A and B are shown apart, each in its own frame.
Chain A
Amino acid sequence: EDQVTQSPEALRLQEGESSSLNCSYTVSGLRGLFWYRQDPGKGPEFLFTLYSAGEEKEKERLKATLTKKESFLHITAPKPEDSATYLCAVASGTYKYIFGTGTRLKVLA
């Protein structure tokens, strides 16, 4: 069964304290892995797509990496405005997108 597991469920960081969020997946026929950011009261905002193991994408303080079993979202020197829920999703060999339950990130000033 296709599955996505994110850890930790919640993370509190001091401003400037770098860390990583994990997304482990099992899927038949990976078509793509996606990271999203969701702010309260908003829909998920697309951040990155990763298609193959070894691929990396960067945007400002965020860097996403992909292996055959998991993806990491590295946050370097986070700021309070990075506080949000980060969602991971995989597109399987069919039309389905499987979402994890997210990591709630809180960055303290």
Chain B
Amino acid sequence: GAGVSQSPSNKVTEKGKDVELRCDPISGHTALYWYRQSLGQGLEFLIYFQGNSAPDKSGLPSDRFSAERTGGSVSTLTIQRTQQEDSAVYLCASSLEVGRPLHFGNGTRLTVT
């Protein structure tokens, strides 16, 4: 594929609803990362996948957040019972291997009303 693709690009949801964010990484990239970027803030690490495994889930803000990756490719970040503080841009990035440049998608802008 050309680059990292994320969908939807925008999502508005009501407080308490569940949302699913999708990431299609660059083909062949084994490492996949999720970050959260709030207005005026830096990039907050959420979770890292090597293949289908997530060695470190400690960046997930609460147990309402979960993520999976299947087939060493597509990843889904799920937020259950969304809260207003979950409003942010969720960025996905992939890399050929750890230590090489991360390539980012354009993110999903989540707004919880």
Interface size class of B (residues with CB under 8 A): 20 to 34
Cα separation A27 to B33 with both chains bound (whole Å): 20
Smallest Cβ-Cβ distance to B105: which chain A residue: A43
Is A91 an interface residue, CB under 8 A from the partner?
Answer: yes
Cα separation A45 to B98 with both chains bound (whole Å): 18
- Give the shortest distance, in Å, between B12 (CB) and chain A (any CB): 16
Interface size class of A (residues with CB under 8 A): 20 to 34
Chain A residues in 8 Å Cβ range of B50: 95
* Interface residue ranges of A54-109 to B (CB < 8 Å): 87, 89, 91, 95-97, 99-102
Chain B residues in 8 Å Cβ range of A100: 42
* Cβ contacts A to B, 21 pairs, < 8 Å: A32-B101, A42-B106, A42-B107, A43-B4, A43-B91, A43-B93, A43-B104, A43-B107, A44-B91, A44-B93, A46-B102, A91-B98, A95-B31, A95-B48, A95-B50, A95-B56, A96-B48, A97-B102, A99-B35, A99-B42, A102-B42
